[in-house]
Structure 1
Amino acid sequence: MPADAGGAAASQAATRMTVRRMGFSYPPAMSGHWNAKRPEFSQIVNAASLAMPYLEPYLIRSMQAARERITDETLRRDLDAYVGQEATHYRQHRKFNEELKARGYRCIGGLEAAIDASYKRIEAKGTLAANLAYAEGFESMALAIGEMLIEDREFLFGGAESGVASLVLWHFVEEIEHKNVAYDVFEHVAGNYFRRVGGVLHATSHIFALTRTGYQALLKEDGLWRDARSRIALGLLLARIFAKLAPKLLRILVPGYSPRQVKDPSWASAWARLFMRDGEAAGRLDTGRLDAAEPVAINAGGGE
């Protein structure tokens, strides 16, 4: 991408990214199955959360390493805003992961060590271009996941513990907000279609493998991994997720793809407006009312 085109595109992102200081509450009585109706989904999300304190700093370092090669000041500002958002993500996930540890999961320490070592290997072996390709691949995948989670929010998070649902949905609203930045930086510094697709495949396969290892270990500790009904529920859940996710992932592989082609979900924009009105409310969503077109907070507008 020419530098002037990258700058013009990035200027759109600069007006829409907000680094938010969030507060999420996790009741002492909350179990690892924060969605009692969907314990398997709870553990998929928990496993993904375990990766965030290692993945997000890797993304930040990769993007910052490219900063001196960026000639457009607007794109540099977008990169800085991206870093600010990602830094808040991994700190919040670290806090949540400590909550999971406090609930007695013995496997978490080993999972975290393996994830940490995995990202250290990727970073050490990768060139700047390869690390930027991974970052762009992850962000493209995260955009697709964010769309899917918001579209299917009532099924996936309905009736769940508010703090965890609010954490996950906040994270992915911000993934949607900064959807252009990693793409712009990659195109500006190392743009190449085949390298981009390679990054998508690498990041997607890597994250999915880490997540599967994690939820398998967590479900084993729960005694659910070999439970027939739980395994059927898990299989149906994964089939539902991938049926909704696959078209969004496949579009990334098309030549000429840009995250700007993806329209922001209206619910994500409504969440941002809720935060502007009441930042605390955005961290305590009423999960009994996720079918509404706009997010509703607990104790707001007639919530419980």
Structure 2
Amino acid sequence: MSAHETETLSDAEHASFEHPPFEHPMDNIIVRPLDFEVEKLEPSQVVWSETSPEFAIYLNAFGVHVPYFERYLIRSMSTAKKHVTDERLRADMSAITGQEAHHAKNFLTFNKLLADRYPRVSELDERARKYFTEHAKTDSLKKLVGFTAGYETFTFLAGMIILANYEKWMQDSDPAIKALWVWHQVEEVEHGAVAFEVYKELFGDHEWYRKYMILTALTHIGKEALAAYFHMARVEGYFKNPVSAVKATWFVFATFGQMVWHSLPTFSSRYHPRVHPLATTKQNKIAVAWRRYLKKGGDVLTIDRAKMKEIIGFG
């Protein structure tokens, strides 16, 4: 743990990480090269959650630009790694780039289906590609790492929020797409501290800039995700009557609002992802069981109700 990182934690918190009562999900990050057969779906099946169709649209919308951010993150961590000397952190940087490379590969495949279903997705996809490709080339090291850390604030929070609402949002859904998103959320939590720690290692004295980048990332995520969401909801017919229009609108702002609310602790100068309230309460049972199940050779490429029951009851 770097000097800057230690400064953000109390002595008791620091000690608890050295002798934790449980294996913290951010320890021993593993790269899992999984390929999900999402291309077998028809475009008409992309609203993949029967439990909450609005949630499926929300994640689909969020996922349009995510693969290009993940490539930006890879560039950010690869560039910053030359300036980091802490071997544990360097290993985590290698792990996060490995995880994100596999995320991007799977989501780019799925986004082709979204483009077949929604006329504007190709335009939004290309806009995201150009934005992140250009900024990956021109951003300073501080901006690369700062924006990555800011953005990862919300993918980390989304991972915990989504897994906590599994039964409410994902229980009855397409097995392959559900499996894809469970994998993604588990790993977003696992590497949720890496970019933060890199920023603290390299630019820890510039705390104001870290907070500014959180707001910058939030604005960017909101702009991209909301544009895609309302387009998709309109195509799916949600705005043909006032009741469904209100339902769709309420869902997206309420869900996005959860991320904003849970981001408030990140603005503390003593913040560290490991001590976020969502990360230090009882660990999510699905995430814990999923890791254990896969480690023992279980198949997590499709997850239906029966498979999730098996995963949770495994071991």
3-state SS of 1:285 partner: coil
Q: How does 1:152-231 map to 2 (within 5 A)?
A: 152-191=165-204, 192-231=206-245
Q: 2:34 maps to what in 1?
A: 22
Q: Is the 8 A contact 1:157 1:287 kept in 2?
A: no
Give the superposition deviation at 1:38. Answer: 2.9
Give the superposition deviation at 1:14. Answer: 8.0
Question: Structure 1 residues 97, 273: CA separation in 2 closer, same or farther (over 3 Å shift)?
Answer: same
3-state SS of 1:225 partner: helix
Q: Deviations over 1:142-201 (max 9, x none)?
A: 111111101111111121111111111110100111122111111111222111111111
In structure 1, give the amino acid aligned to 2:304: D
Give the superposition deviation at 1:100. Answer: 2.5
Q: Deviations over 1:61-109 (max 9, x none)?
A: 01111111111222211111111011011001111112333x4332221
Q: Is the 8 A contact 1:271 1:294 kept in 2?
A: yes
Q: Deviations over 1:229-287 (max 9, x none)?
A: 3222213323542454343211111121001113243431221111112342x222224
Give the superposition deviation at 1:125. Answer: 5.0
Q: Is the 8 A contact 1:13 1:180 kept in 2?
A: no
What is the aligned-residue identity percentage? 25
Task: Confirm or deny that 1:249 pairs with 2:260.
Answer: no
Write the distance in 2 (CA, Å) between the matches of 1:190 and 1:259: 17
Q: How does 1:9-158 map to 2 (within 5 A)?
A: 15-26=27-38, 27-29=40-42, 31-101=45-115, 103-158=116-171
In structure 2, give the amino acid aligned to 1:194: W
Write the distance in 1 (CA, Å) between the matches of 2:26 and 2:159: 20
Q: Is the 8 A contact 1:35 1:157 kept in 2?
A: yes
Q: Deviations over 1:213-233 (max 9, x none)?
A: 111222233333343232222
Q: Is the 8 A contact 1:35 1:42 kept in 2?
A: yes
Mean Cα displacement is larger for which, 213-222 or 56-65? 213-222
Question: Structure 1 residues 14, 45: CA separation in 2 closer, same or farther (over 3 Å shift)?
Answer: closer
Question: Structure 1 residues 117, 229: CA separation in 2 closer, same or farther (over 3 Å shift)?
Answer: same
Write the distance in 2 (CA, Å) between the matches of 1:107 and 1:202: 24
Task: Confirm or deny that 1:275 pairs with 2:262.
Answer: no
How much is the aligned-residue C-alpha RMSD, in angstroms? 2.9
Write the distance in 2 (CA, Å) between the matches of 1:239 and 1:112: 22
Give the superposition deviation at 1:5. Answer: 5.5
3-state SS of 2:45 partner: coil
Give the superposition deviation at 1:37. Answer: 4.5
Q: Is the 8 A contact 1:3 1:71 kept in 2?
A: no
Structure 1, unpaired ranges of 5+: none
3-state SS of 1:283 partner: coil
How many residues are aligned here?
A: 293
The ranges of structure 1 where at least 4 consecutive aligned residues each deviate by more than 4 angstroms after the TM superposition are: 3-6, 12-15, 287-290
Write the distance in 1 (CA, Å) between the matches of 2:306 and 2:265: 33
In structure 1, give the amino acid aligned to 2:169: L
In structure 1, give the amino acid aligned to 2:152: E
3-state SS of 1:51 partner: helix
Q: Is the 8 A contact 1:34 1:160 kept in 2?
A: yes
Q: Deviations over 1:10-57 (max 9, x none)?
A: 9x8885211112232345456121123533222221111111221100
